[in-house]
Structure 1
Amino acid sequence: MRSVELFAGGGGLALGTHLAGFTTEIVAEWDRWACDTLRENQEAGHPLVQGLDVREGDVREVDWSAVPEGVALVSGGPPCQPFSGGGKGRAADDPRDMFPATAEVIRTLRPRAFIVENVRGLTRSAFSDYYTYIQLRLAHPELVSREGETWAEHLARLQAEHTSVRSDLQYNVIPTLVNAANYGVPQQRWRVFLVGFRSDVDAEWSFPEPTHSAHALRRVQASGEYWERHKVRVKDRLHVEPLSKRLAEQPDAELRPWRTVRDAISDLPEPTVNGSRRFLNHVLQPGARSYPGHTGSYIDAPAKALKAGVHGVPGGENMLRNPDGSVRYFTVREAARLQTFPDRYRLHGPWGEAMRQLGNAVPVMLAQIVASSVHEHLALADLRANAAARRTLEAAAAADEQASA
């Protein structure tokens, strides 16, 4: 199934959709460091980015009308700064708001489905009206704003149109707020997914169920299984109260434990300023320090959400905190592990730029889980449509045979 990607960044969502079975043809991204990452991995022969047509620049400048018909998926993560808690929260008044541009690409390509990802801040009460507007704008991409029309006026018109019977291009949009840690990503990363299926696609889709839980992690730490597996000394173990039998047998007992920072990076050597011959991007970045509000990520829990940095070089929470309280910056390779990027995938640029790409990325594993589910339901919809077509043909043939008899 063919796909295109908007606001591709360093490639997290694109890698996940490729692993899910989509063939990404075009990726659009304005940041040159991120584009260089994609190109460098292409040149190195990484299989997940072969065949990509990397378009560096504004997605609004790409001639999407030249893309052949039949695109199954449009995916992308519009810039999150307009809605991020670390930004100014200007939403529609922020020139970086690219949701209208996303809807325009969907209008042009008419994909069978789309996957749009953004920060949890989008669901804040202050943005409630605009969040509704975004969903309706994606649901009705052909109902574009009129000249001089504000987004609030456009929202009112979309609401009226949404409740009427129309024949325009429409999508059934399912918004879901998820924590990446609940899907096996070693990071507590809350994100909003807006997944849409074209109205003529009988998808019967719902967001994938969580596979991991905090309770399960507590259970294996309380039993000692976690510490013994990692050979952690008793004095370095986080104190966890033993779970009662009732708590140990809670309904989520079948879920796997949240993955921790230690789970993700335990096989990596301790980083040095000279780097590692075996692992790409595994170089110590000196200068980390802990201060109020920026204490790093404890090694025996999922990492806090990696950040891209609104002002200057990202740092702050992009640190590892050891049991003794000492901190150091994550190497780029460690951060890539926390974002579930493959070890063979190189992040281009100096530490700050590479970390910015990772801080803006969708975890590859989470992208794959969501895209695999979309791919599966598109395939099932095809099977249902083909079966219905066969039944129609068989009924017509039977009717002709009966008439001729």
Structure 2
Amino acid sequence: MAFEVVEICAGAGGQALGLERAGFAHALAVELDKYPVQTLRENRSQWKVAHGDVADPDVWRPRDYAGVDLFAGGVPCPPFSIAGKQLGANDERDLFAWAVEQVVEMKPRAVLLENVRGLSMPRFAAYRQAVLDRLADSGYVGDWKLLQASDYGVPQLRPRFVLVALRETDAPFFQWPAPVAAEDRRTVGQTLLKLMYAGKWRRAAAWAKAVDKVSPIAPTIVGGSKKHGGADLGPTRAKQAWRAMHVDAMGLANAAPDRDWGDFRVRPPKLTVEMVSRLQGWDPEWEWNFAGGKTAQYRQVGNAFPPPLAQAVGESIRKALDHESEESGARTLVQRSVHDDVYRTLREADGFVTLDQLAERLASKYSVAELHERVTGLERDFEIIRRRKRSGEAVMLGHFKAFIGQEDHHRHAAFAEAAARSRIS
């Protein structure tokens, strides 16, 4: 019998397909954008798909799914993206902390949340620590790992920062998935050759060979958002990388090159949506169709969690829930893992502490000046309460600024404004 999963921010089904192939059945998938919702419903009519803001209680009620086997999702990336402002908890699109609160309420056996590489940066060390501590306080052992999709058979440079957490009884059986063998990995040329030849282009084989000579792995595909333009293959640097691989990244083609397209070095071809989906890990045998026009389809594909990577992580979680693996999880999921010791020390402090006291508790690991800088940095995502004492300034950790469901949070006004402009993404 398959384990059940509730998936939020499900998109067009990249993670959903991977989890399905790993042995999970969807009890519910929640998605905001109408086109991905159509995609999910048209391809898996047996799934229950809720359409709307995942944080709206009228769309779904987490408590109705208490005790589900797996709670999964790919919450919005812009709050942490290196390409953005990295506002973190101050970005109205941030749903990571909110998702963790649903874990506390639903108490699933396992958790899988993924995001962009930016969340792994030092800027968000305290944010990650807050997430781990909240989970640990609720009986979960969890940690983060930066996984490269190319290590799992996806011919694309696509790093994903993945959080996995399991109940204390299941966590020792979890192991991060091992990369696939080199001989089982496909290059860009191998992946796209048949599609490039679909119009009988005489130079398709030469193109595939030339592409792989430049790089067997494609640049990261950027799905973009409603706030930015149409369908193309990313920012300037990515376009330059594509051009070096003999691909015109300024848009997408409706069809493969015809027989007489000519020399790709002079006139590089554009990719089709189907080609991009293959680079994202979709297998043609799955017969997965995307709703909407070309731009809508491309955004769905470009923003997806690659199915093979989702399958690999999903299989590791399923094996842990089945207690199939040896109890070796201590090497992979670390109880109370520490990503930010300054945040942790302030969180465990009883009231105000001076920077000198903070330095002492951290065994003088940091100078007072360094601690001042670290505490100031914490204010981007947390309230820091300050008080002057004779012995110097004292600080105390206040509330987490992230949205976790507060009725008075600034997310509501920003979300309403974005919805009015049809610019939510």
TM-score, with normalisation over the residues of structure 1? 0.65
Whether the aligned pair in 2 keeps the contact of 1:64 and 1:108 (CA below 8 Å) is no
Whether the aligned pair in 1 keeps the contact of 2:9 and 2:54 (CA below 8 Å) is yes
Question: For the residues of structure 2 that align with 1:350 and 1:312, how far apart are their CA atoms?
Answer: 14
Structure-to-structure mapping, 1:245-394, within 5 angstroms: 255-256=182-183, 258-270=185-197, 300-310=215-225, 311-315=228-232, 316=234, 317=238, 321-322=245-246, 324=265, 326-343=267-284, 344-380=287-323
Whether the aligned pair in 1 keeps the contact of 2:187 and 2:212 (CA below 8 Å) is no
Partner of 1:98: 95
SS in 1 for 2:323: helix
SS in 2 for 1:370: helix
The amino acid across from 2:273 in the alignment is V
Shift of 1:132: 2.2
Q: Show structure 1 runs of 4+ deviating over 6 A.
A: 296-299, 381-384
Whether the aligned pair in 1 keeps the contact of 2:63 and 2:105 (CA below 8 Å) is no
Partner of 1:166: none
Match status 1:181 vs 2:150: yes
The amino acid across from 1:3 in the alignment is V
Mark the CA change 1:77 to 1:325 in structure 2 (over 3 Å): closer, same or farther: farther
Partner of 2:10: 8
Shift of 1:302: 1.1
Question: For the residues of structure 1 that align with 2:317 and 2:268, how far apart are their CA atoms?
Answer: 40
SS in 2 for 1:16: helix
Question: For the residues of structure 1 that align with 2:295 and 2:214, how far apart are their CA atoms?
Answer: 22
Mark the CA change 1:304 to 1:297 in structure 2 (over 3 Å): closer, same or farther: farther
Shift of 1:27: 0.4
Whether the aligned pair in 2 keeps the contact of 1:203 and 1:378 (CA below 8 Å) is no
Q: Which consecutive unaligned segments of at least 5 residues does structure 2 have? A: 200-210, 247-263, 328-425
Between 52-61 and 65-74, the greater mean CA deviation after superposition? 65-74
Mark the CA change 1:325 to 1:128 in structure 2 (over 3 Å): closer, same or farther: farther
Structure-to-structure mapping, 1:1-400, within 5 angstroms: 1-41=3-43, 49-61=44-56, 62-65=59-62, 67-140=64-137, 169-212=138-181, 255-256=182-183, 258-270=185-197, 300-310=215-225, 311-315=228-232, 316=234, 317=238, 321-322=245-246, 324=265, 326-343=267-284, 344-380=287-323
Shift of 1:269: 4.4
Question: For the residues of structure 1 that align with 2:128 and 2:229, how far apart are their CA atoms?
Answer: 28
The amino acid across from 1:185 in the alignment is V
Q: Percent identity?
A: 35
Mark the CA change 1:297 to 1:306 in structure 2 (over 3 Å): closer, same or farther: farther
Mark the CA change 1:297 to 1:327 in structure 2 (over 3 Å): closer, same or farther: farther
Question: For the residues of structure 2 that align with 1:266 and 1:19, how far apart are their CA atoms?
Answer: 26
Partner of 1:290: none
Shift of 1:339: 1.3
Whether the aligned pair in 2 keeps the contact of 1:332 and 1:354 (CA below 8 Å) is yes
Mark the CA change 1:202 to 1:366 in structure 2 (over 3 Å): closer, same or farther: closer
Shift of 1:327: 3.3
Mark the CA change 1:98 to 1:266 in structure 2 (over 3 Å): closer, same or farther: same
Mark the CA change 1:377 to 1:326 in structure 2 (over 3 Å): closer, same or farther: farther
Whether the aligned pair in 2 keeps the contact of 1:184 and 1:258 (CA below 8 Å) is yes
RMSD: 2.6
SS in 1 for 2:322: helix
Of structures 1 and 2, the one with the larger relative CO (CA 8 A, separation 6+) is: 2
The amino acid across from 2:230 in the alignment is V
The amino acid across from 1:337 in the alignment is R
Mark the CA change 1:261 to 1:203 in structure 2 (over 3 Å): closer, same or farther: same
Shift of 1:381: 6.5
The amino acid across from 1:180 in the alignment is A
Question: For the residues of structure 1 that align with 2:214 and 2:198, how far apart are their CA atoms?
Answer: 15
Whether the aligned pair in 2 keeps the contact of 1:332 and 1:347 (CA below 8 Å) is no
Shift of 1:173: 0.6
Question: For the residues of structure 1 that align with 2:141 and 2:63, how far apart are their CA atoms?
Answer: 26
SS in 2 for 1:172: strand
Q: 1:76-116 deviations in whole A, cap 9, x for unaligned?
A: 01100111122221111100000122112212221100111
SS in 1 for 2:126: helix
Mark the CA change 1:210 to 1:101 in structure 2 (over 3 Å): closer, same or farther: same
Shift of 1:328: 3.5
Question: For the residues of structure 2 that align with 1:127 and 1:335, how far apart are their CA atoms?
Answer: 31
Q: Which consecutive unaligned segments of at least 5 residues does structure 1 have? A: 42-48, 141-168, 213-254, 273-295, 385-405
Mark the CA change 1:349 to 1:379 in structure 2 (over 3 Å): closer, same or farther: same
